[in-house]
Amino acid sequence: MRITVDLNKCIGCGACELACSQKNDGAFRISKARIRVDKGPETILRDKKFAVYVCHQCENAPCILSCPQGALFKDSTTGIVKVDEDKCIGCSLCVQACPYNAIWIDALKGKAFKCQICDQVQPPCVNICPRNALSIGGGE
């Protein structure tokens, strides 16, 4: 399962970023959201759409393959790709490997962070979106 985005519906409000960070980081803090929206004017003018970055929970995840510490792994039950913070050294090779721009380094902690589907039934991002642009679905 993963968070899927319908870019035809996204209005770039970033409510998902606010709801995600509130849940996963304890306060409103867009920079620590696990789902990010590219709201840049260049993007809008070029594509006439927003871009949304959130982990695809890939089958053969490039981030997992890139990690020298084995700090990234796929949960065998849910298929969710997770970060083992004890092993992560914040080297950012995963950031470069990810084709979806969906993993980042928390500079203060020195650890990678990404969407780990904090709520498999009602993820806060899916729940908050005013245009139903997000859903939780299967596949890659």
Partner 1 sequence: MFGYAGQILKVDLETGKVVKEPLKDELVKGYIGGLGASAKILFESLPPMTEPYSPENVVIFATGPAQGTLIPGSGRGLFVSKSPLTNRIFNSNVGGYIAAELKFAGYDLLAITGRSSKPAYIAIDGDNVEIKPATSMWGKTTYETQAMIKEELGDKSFQVACIGPAGENLVKYSAIIHNLHAAGRGGIASILGWKRLKAIAVRGDKSIEVPDKDALIAFYKEIREKCSKHPTLPGYGTTVALGTINKLGCLGTRNWQTEVFEKAANIDGYTTIPKYKRLDIACTGCPMGCGKVQEVAEGKYAGALAKGPEYETLYALGSLVGVGDFDALVSAARLCDEYGLDTISTGVVIAWAMECYEKGILTKDETDGLELNFGNGDAVNEVIKRIAYKNGYLGNLLARGVKEASEIVGCGSQYFAMHFKGLELAGHSPRGVKGWTLGYSVGWRGGSHHDGRVHDIEYPKTFEERALKYEDKPEIVYKTVHRVMIEESLITCRFFGGYYGPLEPNENHLRILKLTTGFDMTLEELWRTARRIRTLIRCIEVRDGFGRKGDVNAPPLRVLNEPIPEGPSKGAHAKPSEFKVMINRLYDLMGWDRETGKPKSEVLKELGLSDVTI
Residue 109 in the binding site for partner 1 (CB under 8 A): no
| Cβ proximity to partner 1, 1 vs 13, nearer residue | 13
Our CA dihedral for 69, 103, 30, 125, rounded to 10 degrees, sits at -120
- Amino acid identity, position 119: D
Out of 68, 70, 110, 130, point to the residue binding partner 1 (CB under 8 A).
130
Which of 3, 18, 54, 126 binds partner 1 (CB under 8 A)? It is 18
Question: With binding defined as CB under 8 A, does residue 105 bind partner 1?
Answer: no
Q: Which stretch binds partner 1 (CB under 8 A): 22-30, 76-84, 92-100, 114-122?
A: 22-30
With a CB cutoff of 8 Å and minimum separation 6, the contacts of 50 are 7, 10, 11, 12, 37, 38, 39, 43, 44
Q: Is 49 in the site for partner 1 (CB under 8 A)?
A: yes
Query: Does residue 65 interact with partner 1 by CB under 8 A?
Result: no
Beta-sheet pairing, 81-83 with 103-106: unpaired
Q: What is the Cα–Cα distance from 76 to 94, expressed in whole angstroms?
A: 20
- C-beta of 50: minimal distance to partner 1 in Å? 8
What residues contact residue 121 under an 8 Å CB cut-off, 6+ apart? Answer: none
Is position 25 an interface residue for partner 1 (rule: CB under 8 A)? yes
Q: Which residues bind partner 1 (CB under 8 A)?
A: 11-15, 18-19, 21-22, 25-32, 36, 38-42, 44-45, 48-50, 107-108, 128, 130-131
